[in-house]
Structure 1
Amino acid sequence: MSTLVVFDCFETLLTSRPLPRPEDLTVGLSDALRLEPSVAAAVTRLVYGTLFGVMTDPGALQPATMDLLDEALREQGTSREPEELQSALWRALRCDDPGHYLVCEPGATAARRTAEAGHTVRLLSNCYLPGNLMRDLLRNCGVPEVFDKAMFSADGGPKKPDPRAFQSIAEGSFERRVMVGDSLEIDLSPAAALGWETIQITPGVTDLSELCKALEV
């Protein structure tokens, strides 16, 4: 039987400390991009405010973080190269802190075993980091590279719980589709509404034996 298993990212494959506060992001961007504090604060207000508004609207499309940051800088009469923007996001979101993001070992093990059993494994994440940085973060934390496709909302487009996000990540001919995630509202209910099977996990005490049993992995 052809089976697709889609994993959520945060609190499923990775655990993390809370996101930095806006004032911390301002300091981080000011340092990383060599900005005057007032300019950094204006950039943070636009970027953070826009993303916060989008994240609280289930049907809103998420703008690409890189585009949003570039636009905010240009509105302040300055600009930076893409490499500098990516480096700034990496630092501002604490990706350079070894303890800020940690692999969720049961989730990572389940993803690896699911792929080894011959199932198609994909990743669907609501996030602020663009996809290439998210892949770096996952790799650095030790998440196995078993996903044949990944969608990161920070690259722009629909996000969970928008059905379009689930439909896009699930493209292909599959007899079963399974969503693995921690959030009933964001991950599981929208997947179930599309006829998918769902596996809910508990952040911090993740036990995916149910998934492994259901998929015989």
Structure 2
Amino acid sequence: MAVSFDLFGTLVEVTPPDDPARAVATELAARDVPVPSDWERAYAERHVETESGAELSLVEHVVAGLDSRGVAASEAEVRATLLDAFATPVRMKRGARAAVGAAAERGPVGVLSNCSVPGLVPRVLSRSELRADAFDAVVSSVDCGWRKPDERAFERVAARLNVSPSELRHVGDDPDTDGGATAAGATSILLEDVPLTAVPSHLENAE
């Protein structure tokens, strides 16, 4: 048995910016990147087409948004901008450490998180009491290319954990995204049914 955990809302709580476009603009300006006068409109527009279920990197979106207004910025510059724009305090959820520890006692354990900002998931983990090296695999949608509930996201984390999807149990807080594990042949454990503090006993009973 292998266990994957959703990150945001499951293992940790974060408070994203109230106005992401403004937060990004502030960090762009701090790097002397010209901010278009209609940046909020440009940020809201679709610039890159993706297929259903695919994740679009926010780096690619911002670079294309700036380019649509005649502003050039490198991907490295924008990536650093986004990591700072979305840097918020990280609060560990009660029971997170025990749940991850219980999963690790039974087999490989990973993180599977929807996140469009490259590098943000490892950064959040590094700022929590759970370090990335506590997991056998850390998979974000921007890295694997697919957003939960797309089956390919769950298949990817299962492959990284060296198990078949049928051997994977996925713990998450969102029925619409984390519940998609069942379509991939995995088992979903939703926090509305099994609180995080009860996950250790749930895993023990599932053996």
Is 1:24–2:22 an aligned residue pair? yes
- Matched to 2:190, the amino acid is Q
Task: Write out per-residue CA displacement over residues 33-71 of structure 1, whole angstroms, 9 at most, x where no aligned residue.
Answer: 3244425x43x54444449x97xx9x3312222233233
The aligned residue for residue 178 of structure 2 is 187
- SS of corresponding position for 2:177: helix
Instruction: Measure the CA separation in 2 of the matches of 1:106 and 1:79.
Output: 45
SS at match of 1:185: coil
Separation in 2 of the partners of 1:133 and 1:193?
27
| Structure 2 runs not aligned, ≥5 long | none
1:161-182 per-residue CA deviation (whole Å, 9 max, x = no partner) reads 1111111211233563211000
Identity rate, percent: 24
SS where residue 216 of structure 1 aligns?
Answer: helix
The amino acid of 1:137's aligned partner reads: V
Distance 1:187 1:164 in 2: 13
- Tell which has more relative contact order, 1 or 2 (C-alpha 8 A, sep 6+): 1
User: How far, CA to CA, are the matches of 1:156 and 1:73 in structure 2?
Assistant: 25
Question: TM-score scaled by structure 1?
Answer: 0.76
Please tell me whether the aligned partners of residues 122 and 169 of structure 1 are also in contact (alpha carbons under 8 angstroms).
Answer: yes
Please tell me the root mean square deviation across aligned C-alpha atoms, in Å: 3.0
Listed as ranges, the gaps of 5+ residues in structure 1 are: none
CA drift of 1:18 comes to: 4.2
Greater shift in the superposed pair: 82-91 or 30-39:
30-39
How has the CA–CA distance of structure 1 residues 45 and 33 changed in structure 2, closer, same or farther, with 3 Å as cutoff? farther
- From 3, 6, 9, the equivalent of 2:7 is 9
Deviation at 1:11, TM superposition (A): 0.6
TM (norm. structure 2) is 0.79
**How many residue pairs align between the two structures?**
199
The match for 2:120 among 97, 108, 133 is 133
Structure-2 separation of matches of 1:91 and 1:215: 37
